[in-house]
Amino acid sequence: MKFRLFQTVSLSAALFMGSAPADLFAWHDRTHLAIAEASGFDLWYSAAAPDVVKSKEKFSDIESPNHYFNNSAGKKVNAEMVMEQVERYDRCDTGDGHLYGAIVGAVRAYRSAKSSGKYARYPLVYCAHYVGDLSMPLHNTAYDDFNRKRHSINDGVIDAGIRDSIASIRSRMKPIAIRDENELAREIAAVAESARKLGRKIRKENRNMTSDEAYTQVILSASLFKAILAYADTAPATEPAQPR
């Protein structure tokens, strides 16, 4: 897993034009770093690295789909939807992506590497980034004209000042307890559903997120990732859980 950055794939990045854009980013770098730092992650300074990885054409086929789920049907996100995506983690996907499953997959990769005595921290870097992407509304909705036009603006809506707001983010974080993979899936679904609903709202009103809305979303990500860090280090390695 330590050498995952250097994996190559054979499919052309051109496969991802349209519904699965290889150049689609979520929050800008400082926002990702702030989410990870607020959560207490010791490698917070690496949280933007997965976007660097997928910016390379030969890595984008496998990495880009881990960063979004284009919920074109507007379906309510639940734990079952999360678990259905897990098997697609780190696989080429010419469809709508599999962000939710990537979070579970990264946690599994961390626990697997740790239990085998390997250096295990890098999967958590990926997980930190994916959990950040999870709260970004336009990573949970259809990649349509509205999304394309407004994506970059919304990525950076709080980026300029967020590094000065980490203490404020921490003060507003909510405690989350995750005891097993079923609960992990439910918590992922809860954040994704919040993002999906906000994405639907700003699309209906034809506007960008406000700063307050964006901060509310990143606080959800920071709260969830803090809980994931605790869960990943305490939960025993078990067979994959089934959604209830």
Q: Please report the DSSP string for the chain in residue order.
A: -TTGGG---SS-GGGGSSSS-TT---S-HHHHHHHHHHTT-TTGGGTTHHHHHHTSHHHHHHHGGGG----TT-PPP-HHHHHHTGGGTTS--SSS--HHHHHHHHHHHHHHHHHTTS--SHHHHHHHHHHHHHT-GGGSS--SHHHHHHHHHHHTTTTTTGGG-HHHHHHH-------SHHHHHHHHHHHHHHHHHHHHHHHHTT-PPPHHHHHHHHHHHHHHHHHHHHHHHHSPP-SPPPP-
Average pLDDT over every residue of 205-233:
98
Give me the CATH code for the 21-234 domain, please. 1.10.575.10
Going by pLDDT thresholds of 50, 70 and 90, the confidence category of residue 24 is: low
Average pLDDT over every residue of 187-212:
98
Predicted pLDDT of residue 20:
42
Predicted pLDDT of residue 236:
58
Percent over 90 (pLDDT), the chain:
82
**Is the per-residue pLDDT at 7 higher than 90?**
no
Could you read off the pLDDT of 33-87 as tens digits, one per residue? 999 999 999 999 999 999 999 998 888 999 999 999 999 999 999 999 999 999 9
Could you read off the pLDDT of 89-141 as tens digits, one per residue? 999 877 899 999 999 999 999 999 999 999 999 999 999 999 999 999 999 99
